[in-house]
Structure 1
Amino acid sequence: MKYRYIFVDLDNTLLDFEAAEEYSFYYTAQSRGLSFGEAELERYQAINAPLWKMMERREITKEALVVRRFRELFEELGITGIDPAQYNADYLNNLALCTRTIDGAEELCRFIHENGVLIIATNGVSATQHRRIAASGLEPWLDKVVVSDDAGAEKPDPRYFERAFAVSGAGDKSECIIIGDSLTSDIKGGQQFGIDTCWFNPKGKALPEDMPAPTYTVSGLSEFIDILNGKDL
């Protein structure tokens, strides 16, 4: 195989995070007697996404982020009497209940496990991510799991990649590649750390002009198997 140590992002690469987010958002609201619909979900996403970018730039901690997103949403909607921290805890518990996989995820994990070393490289809350992995059916093929909570830093922070590299058991960066859907965390982080990168881009997004091109770009996970087999795409 072309690479032996393969770092694979979890959300929106192996697991459909958008489906899980939608399920948890509506279910948590319903359990609190809130009538949230598409408009409220869009407002939440508009608040949440920039906060994660701030965290990638080390401008906010994850502990502050997960509470602030709901506090700001409740303030916008005029909702009172709900503790944002407890609401977030309920949201994370519900998030772990939805573990729909991306097409080809099981085949990719099995292939890597049988031919190399598969390291899940994911940001997120450790307990939630481990619960989602356990419920996904993918766990038998995962050799290592490195969650940012446990690593002490989030992608694209070099400290995260240093930890993941150490956990992987790899001896040389030339043996490694990371595949993920996020240009700012997976691809940028891999490039800065000095390993090859593969951008999982099923929606055909354009690469920003100021972003160095990843080593590879694929629209489906089966294409990544071809790359690992040494095929030129």
Structure 2
Amino acid sequence: MQVTPAKFKVLTFDVVGTLIDFEAGLTGGLMAIAEESGVDLDGEAALALYGECRRDPAAEKFPDDLARCYQVIAARFGLPTGDEYGARMVEAVAASPAFPDSVSALKRLGGHFRLVAMTNARRWAFERFSTALADPFWKVFTTDDTGTEKPDPAFFEHVFADLAGHGIAKADILHVAQSQYHDIGISRQLGMTNCWIERRHGRAGYGGTIAPESFTEPDFHFTSLAALADAVEA
């Protein structure tokens, strides 16, 4: 499948889960605590519970909410509770690595498009993620900037309004994301062209990402960011 550079001016990116492997940070932090505590932890089950926890109306902004979610996960799986463990999990997720192909693929894509970050992460955490990604972005929109979180249409409208000031229309944008719930479904509803990066290809379920009520067929579908860069350069 080919993505023609001439058709788009901007690629907007979900960051956490698409470019940053937050599941690795989350499970790594949990497994370290489990090993210290002598608990045999099912990482996939813990990820699924985290996804459920993020649906709670009491949820705070990411990754600060890991302090709360950890207590839920700990109670379910017999891990130690306490504020110090919640703080460890916030740090573990904030230190999540980039996917192995993210930096190189973003560099390649940046030769064809302006790159824009659209993330539900707090600004403080995004700055760490951006460093891990070699700071590739022309513009950045965090939940602190927009005052809301995806999939709220207001997040996207904030971005549209800003980019319109630079002569960029909705039709000029390709939205790239792994989350069906936060990005692919709502971007379709708002009339955007989208690209689903299926990071969990070959694994069942939605992992630590909130599961969508229904699946949205994307305009473009790849299982890695490198494959998107290959399609652009084909």
Q: State the TM bucket, normalised to the shorter chain.
A: 0.7 to 0.9
Q: How does 1:172-187 map to 2 (within 5 A)?
A: 172-187=169-184
| Secondary structure of 2:117's aligned partner | strand
Specify every segment of 5 or more residues in structure 2 that has no aligned partner in the other structure, as ranges: 205-211
Q: Which amino acid aligns with 2:125?
A: T
Provide the alpha-carbon RMSD of the alignment.
3.2
CA–CA distance in 2 between the matches of 1:94 and 1:210? Answer: 31
More helix per residue: 1 or 2? 1
Q: Which amino acid aligns with 2:92?
A: N
TM-score after normalising by structure 1? 0.77
Q: What residue number does 2:85 align with? A: 87
Q: What residue number does 1:99 align with? A: 97
Q: How does 1:28-107 map to 2 (within 5 A)?
A: 34-39=37-42, 41-52=43-54, 54=55, 59-63=57-61, 65-77=65-77, 82-83=82-83, 86-103=84-101, 105-107=102-104
CA–CA distance in 2 between the matches of 1:111 and 1:223? Answer: 11
- CA shift, 1:37, in A, is 3.9
| Secondary structure of 2:95's aligned partner | coil
Specify every segment of 5 or more residues in structure 1 that has no aligned partner in the other structure, as ranges: none
Distance 1:60 1:222, change over 3 A: same
Q: What residue number does 1:15 align with? A: 20
Residue 33 of structure 2 contacts residue 79 of structure 2 at CA under 8 Å; is this kept in 1? Answer: no
From 122, 127, 131, the counterpart of 2:128: 131
Task: Kindly indicate whether residue 197 of structure 2 is the aligned counterpart of residue 194 of structure 1.
Answer: no
TM-score after normalising by structure 2? 0.76
Residue 10 of structure 2 contacts residue 116 of structure 2 at CA under 8 Å; is this kept in 1? Answer: yes
Residue 119 of structure 2 contacts residue 141 of structure 2 at CA under 8 Å; is this kept in 1? Answer: yes
* Consecutive aligned runs of 4 or more in structure 1 exceeding 6 Å deviation: none
Percent pairwise identity: 24
Distance 1:198 1:170, change over 3 A: farther
Write the deviation string for residues 127-186 of structure 1: whole angstroms up to 9, x where unpaired: 22321221x1421x2212222243211111101112233344453100011111111111
How many equivalent residue pairs?
Answer: 218
Q: Which amino acid aligns with 2:191?
A: G
Q: What residue number does 2:158 align with? A: 163
Residue 20 of structure 1 contacts residue 100 of structure 1 at CA under 8 Å; is this kept in 2? Answer: no
Distance 1:228 1:89, change over 3 A: same
- CA shift, 1:80, in A, is 6.6
From 202, 207, 223, the counterpart of 1:219: 223
Residue 10 of structure 2 contacts residue 173 of structure 2 at CA under 8 Å; is this kept in 1? Answer: yes
CA–CA distance in 1 between the matches of 2:157 and 2:141? Answer: 11
CA–CA distance in 2 between the matches of 1:164 and 1:212? Answer: 22
Distance 1:226 1:74, change over 3 A: closer
